Structure 1
Amino acid sequence: MSDISINQAYERMNRDLLVDVREDAEVAAGRIPTAIHIPLGELSARLGEIDRNRDVIAVCRSGNRSSRATAVLKSAGYKVDNMAGGMMAWQAAGLPTV
């Protein structure tokens, strides 16, 4: 598991699979356009929705929950990185959201 910067995540957003593990209300306020949304509490039960053939980047609000998600994904055999700073850093940098 490693942390990557928001800029690295931005460069990889169209190649890798971004998994947003925030809660519904947080995602409704803005998410990365290519991200899929699976709340952290549902992640273990929904691993089948995540393509095992793609590298994964875990995303949350600040980087804490995505760090936990990264551990779950790693233990399930995924190649995964944690986006340090989360959506707070992404939005502060003016990177695209929907």
Structure 2
Amino acid sequence: MFDAAVPTVDAASVPADGALLDVREQDEWDAGHVDGAVHIPIGQVVARLGELPEDPLYVVCRVGGRSAQVVQYLVAQGREALNVDGGMYAWEAAGRPMVSSSGSQAFVL
């Protein structure tokens, strides 16, 4: 279960120049991601904290579960982080742009 107090933001409300952290696995990232996002899989976040962009951080995964865990951790570390509600599925549904690693049509895996 997730803490109801996890700060969240609607996918459509993430600023175009917002610092986006994608915590999905490599195959999910390759299929479709936000151009300019920082990709650090959830299992590597703690070890790679120094690579995180400036606050506020908008954290995304496929549907919002993994990113909510990362947001809880980052907030506990004193960072300003928000969970993108509904994850990449909500991002795609909101018509926000995505790219794939291969250059083919991007999709949410």
Query: What's the TM-score, normalizing by structure 2?
Result: 0.81
Shift of 1:89: 1.2
Indicate whether 1:6 and 2:8 are aligned. Answer: no
Structure 2 runs not aligned, ≥5 long? 1-5, 100-109
Shift of 1:25: 0.3
Give the distance between the partners of 1:35 and 1:56, measured in 2 at CA: 10
Shift of 1:2: 1.0
Shift of 1:54: 2.5
Which of these residues, 28, 31, 37, is aligned with residue 29 of structure 1?
Answer: 31
Listed as ranges, the matches of 1:1-98 within 5 Å are: 1-9=6-14, 12-14=15-17, 16-51=18-53, 53-98=54-99
Give the distance between the partners of 2:49 and 2:71, measured in 1 at CA: 12
Name which one, 1 or 2, has greater alpha-carbon Rg.
2
- What is aligned with 2:107? none
Shift of 1:91: 1.1
Shift of 1:75: 1.5
RMSD: 1.1
Partner SS for 2:12: helix
Give the distance between the partners of 2:64 and 2:83, measured in 1 at CA: 7
Give the distance between the partners of 1:2 and 1:35, measured in 2 at CA: 19
Query: What's the TM-score, normalizing by structure 1?
Result: 0.89
Segment of structure 1 superposing worse, 87-96 or 22-31 = 87-96
Partner SS for 1:45: coil
Which of structure 1's runs of 4+ aligned residues deviate more than 4 A? none
Contact 1:13 / 1:34 at 8 angstroms: preserved in 2? no
